[in-house]
Structure 1
Amino acid sequence: MLFFSKRKLRVLVLVLGIAFLIAATTRAVIQFQLGEEVNHYNTYFSTHKDSLHDIYDPLNIKQIPYETINVLYENRVMEEGQRQKSIDWSKFAYVSYATEPEYLCNTVILFEKLKQFGTKAKLVVLVSKDLLDSENSDQIVCERLLERIREVDSEQVVIKLVDEIAKPKDSTPWNKSFTKLLVFNQTEYERIIYLDSDAALFDSMDELFFLPSYVNFAAPLTYWFISESDLQASYKERRSDNKTPVKLESVIKTLNTRAKKGQPIYNHLPSLPSSLVFRSGKIAKEITESNSLLANLFKLRRGTTSSRVKFASDIMVIKPNSLTFQKIAQLLIPNSWGQKEQYDMDLINDGLYNLKEIINSQFLLFRKLRSAFVPEVMVLPFGKYGLLTGSVRERFHHELMANDILGYKKSQDATGPSLDSLVANCKYIHYSDWPINKPWLYSSFDELKCKPKDKNEELDVEMCKTWNSILQGFWDSKHMCQA
């Protein structure tokens, strides 16, 4: 009896071993064939991009330089000037939200500045109903601030009272950040520029309303997760002659020429280096793993193996969509309640716009029917739209700020651009410099004023001076909140 048991066990082990070998071999063959297909299409789109129409590269996430965004905007404004196609600004909106009185104050500042910069788009703020509750000690303050927001422009400003979305049993400062996801449901607008209100604004961003029509979502990247080795790897991946990084100016020149002529630009846009998306650097391997039976059994957790970068959520360009919001409200938010340290940005990247999953789904659709795939996402340059105040005092981040189309380099002199010019180039800077709190939590500017560690070190002095100028701007604008 024991003999037969051992024999059966050996047979079972042998069968399992053969099954594993067959599965591993099959997987290796599939990965090899997929790798060959990936290489083929990468070459195809590189060599045929000038002649392709209505066929889009599915294997890359595209970055769009500011200069090209601006050309698209100028084209649209020119059309309106020639009365070929008027712009209905009521269909475009800047949107922010507030669940605390301090954020209402900064909304006043943002809206006042947008008005000064000449935007004609709607200015929408989503306000938690709890702020106006009679039991709220800040009710009177909030009512006064809402009146100040209305005074910015009674026709342009839209105030919407909403039920805030707070994470249960969570006492962190971010537990109400899910409320911002209501922006995806503002379907009366064709396109929205969402802005966190804890930021400094330096110019209009109307040009973002006129990104290519197929773009449903665009945002800068979380560049602060990039290391020096990541950046060098991204340069190496994009080198044209195996020695020097691709110069961005030549790419922009081609893009702008095509944009001015009304020609397709998508396949000419800079691609986000795959080394920042696929951690192994092997696209075919990770696509195969994403489509394995095991991965499909755990779809809700597929986003947990993240890329080196994600989309930031402090500024987003969105085409609101009721189906997208339905997914957020009915699936993604409830699933996030049980996840520790998962908030709005994590939900957006894991549930909606995971970079690896986007490429995976794009390529699968493209393989079935080329013309069926139309891109939906695009990466905005963080040096123009998405800096953190903390980056001003992070030396390595200065190189990132100067080369915000990742994998490509801008032509510079030996010393590179000054920190002042890099910051002056940015339109929107987020107050984020942990462990430093938001500026309104200090009673005076002197409490958080930056002091150089070494007064004899020129860059140290410059970093503090530039950082102070940004934060001083908040104090200089606080009077806007007064009645």
Structure 2
Amino acid sequence: MRLVSKRRVRFIVFILLAASTVFIVSRCIVHFQYNEEIKYYKKYFQQKKDGLQKIYNPLEIKEIPRQTIDDLYAKRLDKERKGNEVIEWSKLAYVNYVTDADYLCNTLIIFNDLKQRFGTKAKLVLLLSRDILDSSISTELGHINSLLAKIRAIDEDQVVIKLIDNIVKPDDTTSWNESLTKLLVFNQTEFDRVIYLDNDAALRSSLDELFFLPQYIKFAAPLTYWFLSEHDLEKSYHETKYREKQPINLKSYTKVLTTRINKGQMIYNHLPSLPHALYLNSNNIAQDIISSTFSLFSLFDFQSGRKASKLKFASNLMVINPSKEAFDEIAHVTLPKILNKKEKYDMDLINEEMYNLKRIIYNQFMFFRKVRKLFEPEVLVLPFGRYGLLTGSLRNPQHYPMIFNDVLGYKTLDENGGDVSRDLNDTVAYSKYIHFSDYPILKPWLYHSTKDFKCIVEGKAEDHDAELQACDIWNSIYASYIQSREICSV
């Protein structure tokens, strides 16, 4: 019996060793093959991109500079003026959702600004929780109805108010327990494209240009830049300049992109690329793809990563092409995965299940290998200085190098290759959407006036002047909001 048992053990060990050997050899072969393919396609897109049409680089996630966004918009408006293409504004919409009556005034401010100050022709859609109307006491309900009447009065044809059921996390008592309701924006399928906005923000200009990103892009948003460090930035510049041997001067890209837009040529392959070092586990993209393919823990790798990625999509401003298929996937597959997970909310779902940066690269490459000419990219990174700035960054000098250069891995340089001189005023002047986020300071509508939370410079610090400038700008943004909310008075 012992002899038989020993033979079985040896046989099992032999099988395991053989299986391990096959696995390792297979991985080496596929790794070599992927490496060679990736080398070929990297060289292919570098050398051929000027002449390519409808063949997209799957090995990169692209960032789009604000100049390029404006150029696309100007080109589209020019086509309409010439009568070549009519813009169907009824198929475009700004979308807001409200599950807490305290946020309703903010929707009124933003919708009123979009229509009256900035002149948008797009629909203004409010997804309003029916719980607000059902559970409010009579005195509150009177004020709520007054706000809704003012929102409708902005333009009865342009404003759409939809009653919705909240998506609530069970047994969650945090202030974010209804944030998954935001996902209903993906279900606004009567529109070709929507711009979703959190309404706890200062909207400083029209965002209409975002409707005219390339139509194949189904999702675009700024990134969570505030999680990055100075070291991360230096790595991104090093990768762009030395490993990829690409210029880091953003002007060298925008100049080419402007020319191509004017000529009606494809721009995707000429956009600056998000540096791999900011979101992949290694500097070798093939290694990440191999790990995703073979690892027994590949699902874990996708969701959190062996090396957790600091960089994610922010969810306070998103450009979305709604579709029934996408929302069905959210409702029946994605949402159930996260609904009962603790401390997982809308941004977690979007980044872990829908638009995980690592998974995007993997899916793009694998699909491209099968059907090269049918592949189209679906995501784009928006410049966060213009579309995703936090008020907290205005008083944080460590964030300045990022918000001055909001296309990661690139800088705006002068003719001599030096940094273009910029200050905080320049950045704020370009910012169109500034999110109120200054923990532990509360949201501004919870204060009676700016005196309750005003930024004051104390002492005689060496950087006193810079702090004074930052405080002045910060105060002006909040003061503007306090003034704007007067529209909500009964």
TM-score by length of 1: 0.95
CA deviation after TM superposition for structure 1 residue 454, in Å: 3.9
Alpha-carbon spacing, 1:195–1:62, altered in 2? closer, same or farther (3 Å) = same
Stretch of structure 1 that moved more, 240-249 or 335-344: 240-249
Matched, 1:120 2:129: no
Stretches of structure 2 that go unaligned for 5 or more consecutive residues are: none
Matched, 1:474 2:481: yes
CA deviation after TM superposition for structure 1 residue 414, in Å: 6.0
Matched, 1:99 2:106: no
Q: Equivalents in 1 of 2:245, 2:268: separation in Å?
A: 27
Contact kept in structure 2, 1:240 and 1:246, CA below 8 Å: no
Q: Equivalents in 2 of 1:189, 1:106: separation in Å?
A: 23
- Name the structure 1 match of 2:222: 220
Alpha-carbon spacing, 1:242–1:19, altered in 2? closer, same or farther (3 Å) = closer
| Partner of residue 281 from structure 2, selected from 270, 279, 282 | 279
Q: Equivalents in 2 of 1:136, 1:270: separation in Å?
A: 53
Alpha-carbon spacing, 1:250–1:244, altered in 2? closer, same or farther (3 Å) = closer
- The amino acid that maps onto 1:429 is I
Q: What is the CA deviation profile of residues 114-170 of structure 1, one whole-angstrom value per residue up to 9, with x for unaligned ones?
A: 111111111111110011115546322211111111122222111111111111111
- Name the structure 1 match of 2:446: 441
Alpha-carbon spacing, 1:248–1:110, altered in 2? closer, same or farther (3 Å) = same
- 1:135-174 map, 5 Å: 135-136=136-137, 138-174=140-176
CA deviation after TM superposition for structure 1 residue 294, in Å: 2.5
Alpha-carbon spacing, 1:82–1:240, altered in 2? closer, same or farther (3 Å) = farther
| Partner of residue 263 from structure 2, selected from 244, 261, 264 | 261
SS in 2 for 1:106: helix
Q: Equivalents in 2 of 1:332, 1:242: separation in Å?
A: 35
SS in 1 for 2:296: helix
Q: Equivalents in 2 of 1:133, 1:4: separation in Å?
A: 74
Sequence identity of aligned pairs in percent?
50
| Partner of residue 417 from structure 1, selected from 418, 422, 436 | 422
Contact kept in structure 2, 1:273 and 1:406, CA below 8 Å: yes
SS in 1 for 2:160: strand
Stretch of structure 1 that moved more, 16-25 or 91-100: 16-25
Contact kept in structure 1, 2:412 and 2:420, CA below 8 Å: no
Stretch of structure 1 that moved more, 408-417 or 206-215: 408-417
- The amino acid that maps onto 1:256 is T
CA deviation after TM superposition for structure 1 residue 453, in Å: 4.6
Q: What is the CA deviation profile of residues 419-466 of structure 1, one whole-angstrom value per residue up to 9, with x for unaligned ones?
A: 111112100001112222211122332222112254442222222222
- Name the structure 2 match of 1:452: 457
Alpha-carbon spacing, 1:373–1:414, altered in 2? closer, same or farther (3 Å) = closer
- Name the structure 1 match of 2:182: 180
Contact kept in structure 1, 2:302 and 2:356, CA below 8 Å: no
- Name the structure 1 match of 2:296: 294
- Name the structure 2 match of 1:60: 60
TM-score by length of 2: 0.94
Contact kept in structure 1, 2:411 and 2:419, CA below 8 Å: no
Q: Equivalents in 2 of 1:144, 1:134: separation in Å?
A: 16
SS in 1 for 2:51: coil
Q: What is the CA deviation profile of residues 236-281 of structure 1, one whole-angstrom value per residue up to 9, with x for unaligned ones?
A: 1111699996100011000010001100001101111111120222
- Name the structure 1 match of 2:30: 30
- The amino acid that maps onto 1:150 is R
Stretch of structure 1 that moved more, 358-367 or 276-285: 276-285
- Name the structure 1 match of 2:84: 84
Q: What is the CA deviation profile of residues 33-58 of structure 1, one whole-angstrom value per residue up to 9, with x for unaligned ones?
A: 21222122111101110011111000
- Name the structure 2 match of 1:319: 321
Alpha-carbon spacing, 1:242–1:134, altered in 2? closer, same or farther (3 Å) = closer
Q: What is the CA deviation profile of residues 372-411 of structure 1, one whole-angstrom value per residue up to 9, with x for unaligned ones?
A: 2011111111111110111111212111111111111112
SS in 2 for 1:5: helix
Contact kept in structure 2, 1:220 and 1:386, CA below 8 Å: yes
CA deviation after TM superposition for structure 1 residue 24, in Å: 2.0
Stretch of structure 1 that moved more, 459-468 or 2-11: 2-11
CA deviation after TM superposition for structure 1 residue 91, in Å: 1.0
Contact kept in structure 2, 1:248 and 1:408, CA below 8 Å: yes
- Name the structure 1 match of 2:43: 43
SS in 2 for 1:291: helix
Contact kept in structure 2, 1:98 and 1:104, CA below 8 Å: yes
- Name the structure 2 match of 1:427: 432
Q: What is the CA deviation profile of residues 171-212 of structure 1, one whole-angstrom value per residue up to 9, with x for unaligned ones?
A: 111111111111111111111011000000000011100111
Q: Equivalents in 2 of 1:64, 1:403: separation in Å?
A: 13
Q: Equivalents in 1 of 2:457, 2:245: separation in Å?
A: 37
- The amino acid that maps onto 1:120 is K
